[in-house]
Amino acid sequence: MKLLLDEMWAPAIAEALRNRGHEVVAVAERPDLRGLPDEAIFAAAEAEGRVIVTENVVDYRPLAADAMRAGRSHPALIFTSNRTFPRANRRTAGRLVAALDALLTTRETIESEHWFD
């Protein structure tokens, strides 16, 4: 499974996961994606066969629902929570790396949504 970390997640998380053998990129380390609207990130993830890791349920869930209603494929989504992974806490990056590594190591397929809460 290939991941695309949304802009709220630091490139260091993607780098740590790559160091563990996973195919992960962060929007923040991709000049072609940085600052683009969610619709463009969603389309890029679909085109690249990546699962989006985001905290942004409000914007991404409707994009997935619209794609499903239109009969189009869409990228799977992994939703995180600021309650479980508070970005202001310096330990969060390591905890998120561990959680994503565990998920990626299981080789579990994510068809639609997965919540880390």
pLDDT digits (tens, 9 = 90+) for 27-61: 999 999 999 999 999 999 999 999 999 999 999 99
Residue 19's alpha-carbon distances to 11, 22, 57, 117, in angstroms, are: 12, 7, 28, 25
Number of separate helices (H) and strands (E) present in the chain: 4, 5
In sequence order, what are the beta bridge partners of 25? 4
Q: Is the dihedral of CA 85, 105, 72, 30 positive or negative?
A: positive
Give the mean pLDDT of the chain: 91
pTM, two decimals, is 0.90
Question: Domains in the chain, start-ordered, CATH in brackets?
Answer: 2-116 (3.40.50)
